[in-house]
Chains A and B, each alone.
Chain A
């Protein structure tokens, strides 16, 4: 998608799992500026990085620095460690 002058260059689907659902809808499409990274998006949604254990972009493990692309899906899972 070409730039439209309003800083909205791409759409990314966000999927929030388990306790992270409190930060938004379980599945939502967001419009983002080109170059937005996983970390930027977490900040935009308001999720502290410490509450995220697994970050997947299109089903692949991703780091916070990874820039997102139009049409991708970001899935976030919290840390679970009880026994």
Chain B
């Protein structure tokens, strides 16, 4: 595609863009003029991406600096603010387990505009997933969960970079955690959850823990060093979901809680406290216990 002739004088090649601060300012001014020229932030962002070869999520974060949001984030603004939206666009999160909880967690984080989302799951969809897993449908049976999530993300928000890791969390290499700000524990086994707690400690990354069984669920922020999951699970190997199964409404509810807790952590709105939300949707009971 031919590059559009610029309606304003572009900074020359000789301009010093060697320092990050200068480059940030340069890109900001560049986008500002593009917005003035096109009158539309979406077009201006696309032009900035094309002209400067930067990821779209970064271009969108520059728009936040200008106090302008793409339309897709307009209804986030009153809640997250420009600074909050920018932080999300510059965040990198990992979702371990793309099943009942993980699908909903990915969906909401992507719609929020979380910059980099890493999905970890070794499994493929099967018929037993259809009752509750957001990305399980008649077309996705037999496909890798990471692959389906990646396709879905691309149709919702092309500014989000989704990285697929189709393996068990225990098989991830250290480099997979580089730059990760937050990990969502959407796993379905206690030993794997305890392994993930260990990972969070090793890399000093907080976890958002979520678990479901029947009408019941729990959510907690696991701060590195807290050993919260060890306190919850002790030596147990199985939960009540073994008998109660997982109906569709509980994962969606618990995933929503996980995402709100996660966003608060990313935006610095969460105090470091060791507690657990316990939800009983049968009796409409909600408990927060400190551990």
The yes or no answer to B148 lying at the interface (CB within 8 A) is no
- Chain A neighbourhood of B282, CB < 8 A: 18
- Give per-residue flags for A53-83: 1 if the beta carbon is below 8 A from chain B beta carbons, else 0: 1101001010000000000000101111111
Task: Tell me the minimal C-beta distance from B126 to chain A in angstroms.
Answer: 15
The yes or no answer to A24 lying at the interface (CB within 8 A) is no
Residues of A in contact, count (CB < 8 Å)? 20
A61 B291 Cβ-Cβ under 8 A = yes
A18 B215 Cβ-Cβ under 8 A = yes
A81 B290 Cβ-Cβ under 8 A = no
- Chain B neighbourhood of A75, CB < 8 A: 287, 289
Selected contact of B233 from candidates A21, A56, A81, CB within 8 Å: A81
Task: Tell me the minimal C-beta distance from B282 to chain A in angstroms.
Answer: 8
Task: Tell me the minimal C-beta distance from A73 to chain B in angstroms.
Answer: 12
A78 B240 Cβ-Cβ under 8 A = yes
- Chain A neighbourhood of B287, CB < 8 A: 17, 75, 77
How many Å lie between the Cα of A21 and that of B282 in the bound state?
A: 11
Task: Tell me the minimal C-beta distance from A81 to chain B in angstroms.
Answer: 3
Selected contact of B232 from candidates A50, A53, A59, A83, CB within 8 Å: A53
Closest to A18 in B: B216
A81 B213 Cβ-Cβ under 8 A = yes
B246 A82 Cβ-Cβ under 8 A = yes
A18 B231 Cβ-Cβ under 8 A = no
How many Å lie between the Cα of A82 and that of B189 in the bound state?
A: 7
- Give per-residue flags for A10-33: 1 if the beta carbon is below 8 A from chain B beta carbons, else 0: 000000011101000010000000
Assign chain B's interface to a size class. 35 or more
- Chain B neighbourhood of A83, CB < 8 A: 97, 99-102, 186-188, 210-212, 251
Closest to B246 in A: A82
How many Å lie between the Cα of A21 and that of B291 in the bound state?
A: 22
- Chain B neighbourhood of A78, CB < 8 A: 213, 216, 239-240
- Chain B neighbourhood of A17, CB < 8 A: 278, 280, 285, 287
How many Å lie between the Cα of A11 and that of B115 in the bound state?
A: 55
- Chain A neighbourhood of B239, CB < 8 A: 53, 78-82
B278 A77 Cβ-Cβ under 8 A = yes
B236 A82 Cβ-Cβ under 8 A = no
Task: Tell me the minimal C-beta distance from A48 to chain B in angstroms.
Answer: 11
How many Å lie between the Cα of A65 and that of B212 in the bound state?
A: 29
How many Å lie between the Cα of A46 and that of B94 in the bound state?
A: 41
- Chain A neighbourhood of B289, CB < 8 A: 54, 56, 59, 75, 77
Q: Identify 28 residue pairs between A and B in the complex whose beta-carbon atoms are under 8 Å apart, listed by A's number.
A: A18-B214, A18-B240, A18-B280, A19-B244, A54-B231, A54-B278, A56-B289, A59-B289, A77-B287, A77-B289, A78-B213, A78-B216, A79-B240, A80-B217, A80-B239, A81-B213, A81-B238, A82-B188, A82-B211, A82-B212, A82-B241, A83-B97, A83-B100, A83-B101, A83-B186, A83-B211, A83-B212, A83-B251
Binding site for B on A (CB under 8 A): 17-19, 21, 26, 50-51, 53-54, 56, 59, 61, 75, 77-83
A21-B283, A77-B278 given; 17 more Cβ-contact pairs under 8 Å? A18-B240, A53-B233, A54-B276, A61-B291, A75-B289, A77-B287, A78-B240, A79-B190, A80-B212, A80-B213, A81-B213, A81-B238, A82-B211, A83-B101, A83-B187, A83-B211, A83-B212
Binding site for A on B (CB under 8 A): 97, 99-102, 186-190, 193, 210-218, 231-234, 236, 238-241, 243-244, 246, 251, 276, 278, 280, 282-283, 285, 287, 289-291
